[in-house]
Structure 1
């Protein structure tokens, strides 16, 4: 049996194998679609181009009666360079259907400005830590288009909000230890989670054994060092390989920031890409973190919980793609979810926690 080179290097989470083998290539779609925002209905206020060519893979927060959406935009297809904009959408628009018709002004919030994101700022995840808002996004580095360099083409970069909703400051870049760093082709799908003072980075490195690893690493900000352009390089350690893709998938990755269930438990959402159609679908895992035992996969949804089905999810710049990056709790047990539809539009939906927990109970491991 073939084993990826770094699969022997990374520690494995408890429940590693069961989390992959317990899943079936089926979907029980529990995401209620609320609407979609097409790029021609988005207006850039602080950039000379009026409308983006594409707007997708959004994260979001909810502030009072508004959803503030942080979306990846493209203004030209030549090099497919991305920036991140912020737009404000009244919650009333989402639940009245007006979001499908209204036009929204946006502000350029995070854009290429360092060697770590020179060729694009992509796929933001926005979340709260210690009362502050953070955004971890994928930076396309200066190496991205260099055919001579096959390492660190993308890296996770974190920014902190320092002013109005669209004002952010880039602070950290995350890298693997030196013996592994030289073998990282790219690193994506990242966000931070705090477990009782232990800060963990959820990320998905692609290594030069041509394998993708769904991992969680420990972050010690005291061990950061000065990087380029005023950012700190943070070397992560104690990396754990959480689970592998199922037999019917080519790869998996982290989707949105997680749902907090307790002080040491979260529900993590993930995307999976199937072997045949290369479609993106969504599923979930219940994870527990212990200081002594590390990451434990306690349950997994036996089926996917969302798949492309509406025309704007099936047809776009990348067909059959839903790519959730944003999740925010509303009153009660309802969660707003924001996702890229067809790599072209902003999709918005809602998840009921009880439905999700019911599916997880069917895939209980521990």
Structure 2
């Protein structure tokens, strides 16, 4: 089974009139609020520093979006995110929005010739990439227009991104999915970067880290990371994630976790449910990328929002029940 792309993709493209987002808008978090889909998207205004910030767009139907402001709604500022704020994911708990994001202590340009690398990747998708160090940061917001930094919630000495909260407590604790890059080798139970699960009483101090999913199939052999926040279904937590192969092609996969014990994987598809096929997914700043970061359900239809080629925002859909039935074909 594959997700169905919307024929009008991309749903959001860089605005040449807005200097802070004129180069790229992608990897959006999404949430349904007051009858509208809110899209908190990553924006890049210039390639020299390649420092990201967040913009906000809204939609009544999940397809057609309008920006709420000509200004970014959140920008780098703290010591741990002064280099950039990337790839937001959104949940709403206890009356407020909680946003996890990749927080960069240094901008990508300080790790090497980032703009030169982007140019070379346009010609050669296998050109060596620059690795950028990041943490996972946490924000609180009442309206997705103003934000308060809570903390950096992953270890300061570990490159750890793709931090994603569950949308509700499980067993009285907050739960976090995350991807610590250095946690590999025999002592960690995985040879490649994997998805881990952690718990917390206060959203700041995270303990009981457990290996949840490791790369298994060829299409995800290099690394995997969580996508949108898990969705509660009667059969379990539906988890959409991304996987990267040895040729740096990014695809989307799907798994199902036990509702009461999410550390237990109920089912996992060995096949991707979305992969780069369209030109806007294969050609961009980073080629051959579909990167899911947001999901909402409208009238039983699952809308998955994703970044394409690190350049634009897109959406693909599937009946939620059909996707759950599909992944249940691969029970563990």
Is the counterpart of residue 341 in structure 1 residue 308 in structure 2?
yes
Counterparts of residues 130-141 of structure 1 (less than 5 Å): 130-141=94-105
Which of 121, 145, 152 in structure 2 is aligned with 1:166? 145
Which of 246, 257, 261 in structure 1 is aligned with 2:229? 257
SS in 2 for 1:109: coil
SS in 2 for 1:207: coil
Structure that is richer in strand per residue: 1
Provide Cα deviations, 1:182-214, integer angstroms capped at 9, x if missing partner.
4x2x11111222214221111001117584231
Aligned to 2:318: 351
Aligned to 1:266: 237
What's the offset of the Cα at 1:33? Answer: 2.1
Change (3 A) 1:208 1:304: closer
Return the alpha-carbon distance in structure 2 between the equivalents of residues 261 and 38 of structure 1.
29
Aligned to 1:113: 77
Change (3 A) 1:274 1:131: same
Provide Cα deviations, 1:57-94, integer angstroms capped at 9, x if missing partner.
011122345322111010111121100111223427x2
Return the alpha-carbon distance in structure 2 between the equivalents of residues 236 and 159 of structure 1.
16
The higher radius of gyration belongs to 1
SS in 2 for 1:110: coil
- Let me know the Cα RMSD of the aligned residues: 2.7
Return the alpha-carbon distance in structure 1 between the equivalents of residues 14 and 327 of structure 2.
38
Preserved CA contact (<8 Å) 2:136 2:161: yes
**TM-score, length basis structure 2:** 0.82
Preserved CA contact (<8 Å) 2:40 2:55: yes
Aligned to 1:197: 172
Which of 66, 77, 80 in structure 1 is aligned with 2:50? 80
Aligned to 2:136: 156
Report how many aligned residue pairs link the two structures: 302
Provide Cα deviations, 1:309-355, integer angstroms capped at 9, x if missing partner.
11111111111101111111212x21222110110001122221122
Aligned to 1:298: 266
Preserved CA contact (<8 Å) 1:187 1:206: yes
Which of 96, 120, 128 in structure 1 is aligned with 2:92? 128
What's the offset of the Cα at 1:290? Answer: 4.3
**Structure 1 residues not aligned, in runs of 5+:** 1-27, 225-233
What's the offset of the Cα at 1:143? Answer: 8.9
Change (3 A) 1:239 1:40: closer
> Quick check: 345-354 or 121-130, which moved more?
345-354
**Structure 2 residues not aligned, in runs of 5+:** 113-131, 186-191
Change (3 A) 1:355 1:239: same
Aligned to 2:128: none
SS in 2 for 1:36: coil
Return the alpha-carbon distance in structure 1 between the equivalents of residues 304 and 17 of structure 2.
22
SS in 2 for 1:359: helix
SS in 1 for 2:258: strand
Change (3 A) 1:299 1:209: closer
What's the offset of the Cα at 1:216? Answer: 0.5
Provide Cα deviations, 1:270-291, integer angstroms capped at 9, x if missing partner.
111112x321111111111546
Preserved CA contact (<8 Å) 2:256 2:265: yes
Return the alpha-carbon distance in structure 1 between the equivalents of residues 180 and 233 of structure 2.
26
What's the offset of the Cα at 1:39? Answer: 3.1
> Quick check: 317-326 or 351-360, which moved more?
351-360
